[in-house]
Amino acid sequence: VGGSAPRGLMARFETAGRDPIFWLHHANIDRLWEAWLRRGNNRNPTRNDWRDAPWVFGSGTTTTTLTTAQVIDPRRPPLGYRYADMPVAAAREALAERFDEVPQPVAEQEERPPEMVGASSGPVPVGSRPSTARVDVNAPRGPVARLIGESGGVPPGSRVFLRLENVTATRLGAGSVVVHVNVPSGASPRDFPDRKAGLLSMFGVIESSKKSDTHSGSGKNATFEITRIVKTLAAAGQWDPKKLDVSFTPVPDATGSVPEGDVAVGRVSLFYA
């Protein structure tokens, strides 16, 4: 994304701000904030330390200092712009009232602490080619254990999470990696979009892998909820409650290639909650 720099400008903290997608992303966050303010009774903080906080833009002798209060309303100077497609306040609520819609109560779900039921035996390298890691799964012993019935080992009413811990690197390969679960042996993960757990971004991996006085250098973590995937597999008789295969597919750059890096996932684990 954003030019010909290796893995794209967005892959590194130092260059992300130069990517036009980065600018659009933050511009949309500003718009979402304005939309949020127009819904219901949402309000900005009123604390002086928040409103009066100074922000310096520019470098060298050319700098501009603005406070939060000066830019909180985009319609006023120094910004002076308004969003063309901003919804009117409480539009959704008014529409619901017009059609006599009555919100339906949502059943409360029992909250249970996540329980790790399986983990990889060691670090998992993520290279320039697709790779797979095996996770041996045990039956839960905590609060989720009592939910297990004739469900193929998937506790009914539970949630299932895939966690990638201590993702580290000193040299990136792909800018991001697609994560799938239980792709049949020899098959391409791309042919099983319904088994896609999520996208593991490499943004910040190198920086979070550097040990310093203020950081352990243990890398970054990512968690994907795979409840729907697991229960769909179980319903089709394709879920093995004793093992999970996790596939990593690097996303090629604009030239269709993936440089070789040294990305590794410290541990791949499965949780029930």
Same domain, 155 and 236: yes
Higher pLDDT, 195 or 87: 195
Three-state secondary-structure class, residue 151: coil
Q: Which domain holds residue 68?
A: 9-98
Same domain, 151 and 264: yes
- Find the mean pLDDT for residues 108-133: 86
| Measured CA angle at 54 (ends 53, 57), to 5 deg | 145
Average pLDDT over residues 146-169: 78
Check which CATH number belongs to the domain holding 155 and give it.
2.60.120
Residues 6+ apart with CB under 8 A from 12: 203, 206, 207
Identity of the residue numbered 77: P
Quickly state the pLDDT bin for 86 (edges 50, 70, 90): confident
Write out pLDDT tens, residues 21-39. Answer: 888 888 888 899 988 888 8
> Residues 35, 143: one domain?
no
Mean pLDDT of the chain: 83
Question: Which stretches of 54-136 are DSSP H helices?
Answer: 68-71, 91-98
Highest mean pLDDT among 27-36, 67-76, 191-200: 191-200
pLDDT score recorded for residue 91:
44
Do both 93 and 121 map to the same domain? no
Let me know whether 258 and 123 are in one domain.
yes
**pLDDT (tens digit, 9 = 90+) per residue, 132-157?**
999 999 888 887 776 665 455 676 77
User: How many percent of the chain have pLDDT more than 70?
Assistant: 84
Per-residue CA distances from 222 to 13, 168, 170, 179 (Å): 18, 12, 18, 11
Is residue 109, in this structure, part of any structural domain at all? no
Assess whether 121 and 225 both reside in one domain.
yes
Domain finish residue from 34, 68, 98: 98
pLDDT band at 94 (very low <50, low <70, confident <90, very high): very low
φ, ψ at 37 (rounded to 5°): -65, -25
Q: Is residue 21 part of a domain?
A: yes
User: Sorting pLDDT into bands at 50, 70 and 90, what band is 110?
Assistant: low
> Is a pLDDT exceeding 70 seen at residue 79?
yes
Asked if residue 50 belongs to a domain, the reply is: yes
